Amino acid sequence: MSKHIPEFTNKMEVLFTDIITSLCQLPLEQRGYLFGYDGEEDMEAIIDMACYITMEYIKYSFDYADPEYSLRHFIKELNGSDDERMLQQRTLEYVLRYKKRELEMHGIELPPDHKFADLSMDSIKEKLIGYKLTEMNFFEQQNVHDLEVVKAIVQKSIESSKKKSNQRFIEMFIQYDSFIEDIKEKALKSDKDMVFYSIAFFTFEWRYPVETFYYVARLMEENNITEINQSDLILLCGDVCIESRFGGNRRTHSRMVKERFCYLDYLLSNNVSTHNKDVLRDLIKEYLVLGVNYKELYEREDGRKYKDWFREESNISDWASFLKWYDIFSIWEKKEWTPKRIQNMRKLFEMTTMDSI
């Protein structure tokens, strides 16, 4: 991230500057630990943190504003027949089952009133009657869940060359790259598209760290790295429970989607001492805690939570002005495969989807 704050909409500039100012006003000990205080804070680190927080706020604001409709509503928009609606219901059944399995895979206990909690063969049809979807939900159903790579990750078949040959593996990622390239181009059409498709890609990489793992797999091959610290992968891409040195315990899914790329080279390097890597790991944990605090706890002087203040004060044009500069799509790269890189990629998914995690 550049230290120079770009030209946003006037309102976005105010909002982003306010977040940066609040970070600079953290208690001295915490601010010093996170950003340094030897006469001058590391503004680049502060801006990176402000970007992470802003991305969370935009996602929260978008989700809040994304209206729900019946499945029939979306089928009508597609000029679909009842047969098409039934096909979509079957697809939705798969999606619901997959989402429940995904939550369980991450060790998340579902409350009794959660819509996936009592999902069963006996009740699925009842659940589909009147089931509400947002535009993003429907987009995911129509597109993301058609990607073979997603099914392979969820079903854990991506880890095995017997279940997915190297040739099939490559074909899956050709389909994936084509999908990402398509939504990247669509994002340029309007402010609404910029927000919608940027959040779609952000959410995809948060749930399925394909770009992160490809970057790591490529580094492993290029630098002859044979072993990866499993806890580092979980810290950067998984569910973590953190006891902060500044008080409190936080459980969160690591969602520093773009920012995690700043740490990968350092954590993977054979030339960095164990001590220095441990220092960085502790720092990443505190960044994650700070992100959770800003999203869930921090309030303004008027008593409003920061996330709700942001939602109430900003709009889609403001978000788009930030996302055009932030460019979440910059982490995507077209994949080039070698047998070793495929092997590394399989290993990374295996390390992060083990039942014991």
Predicted confidence at residue 190, as pLDDT, reads 96
- Six token digits for residue 237: 């891409």
User: Among the ranges 10-14, 62-66, 225-229, which has the highest mean pLDDT value?
Assistant: 10-14
Q: How far is CA 72 from CA 139, 273, 290, in A?
A: 14, 58, 41
3-state secondary structure of 243: strand
Confidence check: pLDDT of 163 > 50: yes
Burial environment of residue 14 by CB neighbours within 10 A (0 to 12, 13 to 18, 19 or more): middle
Place 139 in a pLDDT band, splitting at 50, 70 and 90: confident
Q: Name the amino acid, one letter, at 139.
A: F
DSSP state of 178: H
Place 88 in a pLDDT band, splitting at 50, 70 and 90: low
Place 6 in a pLDDT band, splitting at 50, 70 and 90: low
Predicted confidence at residue 113, as pLDDT, reads 47
Q: Which segment of 11-15, 55-59, 148-152 scores lowest on mean pLDDT?
A: 148-152
The mean of the pLDDT values for the chain is 84
**Between 101 and 237, where is the model more confident?**
237
Helix (H) or strand (E) holding 93: helix 82-105
Place of tokens 């500069």: 325
Predicted confidence at residue 142, as pLDDT, reads 73
Q: What's the pLDDT tens digit per position in 261-304?
A: 999 999 998 889 999 999 999 999 999 999 999 988 888 889 99
Average pLDDT over residues 86-96: 61
Confidence check: pLDDT of 217 > 90: yes
The vertex-129 CA angle with 128 and 135, nearest 5°, equals: 65
pTM of the model: 0.84
Contacts 24+ apart (CB under 8 A), 223-229: 223/268, 223/269, 223/270, 225/268, 225/270, 228/268, 228/347, 228/348, 228/351, 229/267
